[in-house]
């Protein structure tokens, strides 16, 4: 079972502290990860390579609806969390309900904050906090042609 990788915020904070005591670098990213696809896999694998432990903060169903509209998410938060936790290179998954992951970033204090290269570092939520705490903020090139929105559009055309 991979459900042991899915945490509430406080239990993940404790786990992160234990990892740090062992000298491990914690990488943090976040997103909706609604329909898991090659672009997600490539991105998360590259994110993990930047440190020792990878945490994925997952938008709750409610926050996905606010970001993407009433038709989203396609997959419920528990399903999305389980799929992410099943990936060997993901070490922890936490669901957040806020509009942005700033609160969880401030709680966990990751060593490295990662987003896709479609973001500029100055626009990444939590970047200032991570940098001011001695961490790093990195962007990762995305695999072109892969996005959940494009997959949904392709399916809609075929129906």
Per the structure, the complete domain to which residue 99 belongs is given by: 3-158
Q: What CA–CA distance (Å, rounded) separates 38 from 6?
A: 22
Backbone angles phi, psi at 91, to 5 degrees: -100, -20
> 1 falls in which pLDDT band (50, 70, 90)?
low
Backbone angles phi, psi at 6, to 5 degrees: -95, 125
- Whole-model pTM over 0.95: no
- Inter-residue contact 64 to 149 (CB < 8 Å): no
Read off the CATH number of the domain in which 20 is found: 3.40.50.620
Q: What is the pLDDT of residues 38-94, one digit of tens each?
A: 999 999 999 999 999 999 999 999 999 999 989 899 999 999 999 999 999 999 999
- Inter-residue contact 2 to 118 (CB < 8 Å): no
Q: Residue 78: enclosing H or E segment and its boundaries? A: helix 77-85
Tally of domains in the chain:
1
Give the CA angle between residues 142, 15, 73 to the nearest 5°: 45
Q: What is the pLDDT of residues 5-44, one digit of tens each?
A: 999 999 999 999 999 999 999 999 999 999 999 999 999 9
Beta-carbon count within 10 A of 24 CB: 15
Beta-carbon count within 10 A of 139 CB: 15
Q: What is the pLDDT of residues 81-137, one digit of tens each?
A: 999 999 999 999 999 999 999 999 999 999 999 999 999 999 999 999 999 999 999
């Amino acid at each position: 079972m991979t459900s042991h990788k899915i945490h509430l915020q406080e239990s993940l904070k404790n786990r992160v502290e234990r990892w740090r005591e062992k000298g491990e670098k914690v990488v943090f990213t976040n997103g909706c990860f609604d329909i898991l696809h090659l672009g997600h896999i490539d991105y998360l694998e590259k994110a993990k390579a930047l440190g020792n432990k990878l945490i994925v903060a997952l938008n709750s169903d409610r926050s996905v609806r606010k970001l993407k509209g009433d038709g989203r998410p396609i997959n419920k938060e528990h399903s999305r969390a389980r799929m992410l936790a099943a990936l060997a290179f993901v070490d922890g998954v936490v669901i957040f309900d806020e509009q942005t992951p700033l609160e969880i970033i401030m709680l966990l204090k990751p060593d490295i904050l990662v987003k896709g290269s479609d973001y500029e570092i100055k626009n990444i939520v939590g970047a200032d906090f991570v940098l001011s705490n001695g961490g790093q903020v990195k962007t990762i090139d995305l695999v072109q042609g892969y996005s959940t929105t494009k997959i949904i559009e392709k399916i809609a055309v075929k129906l």
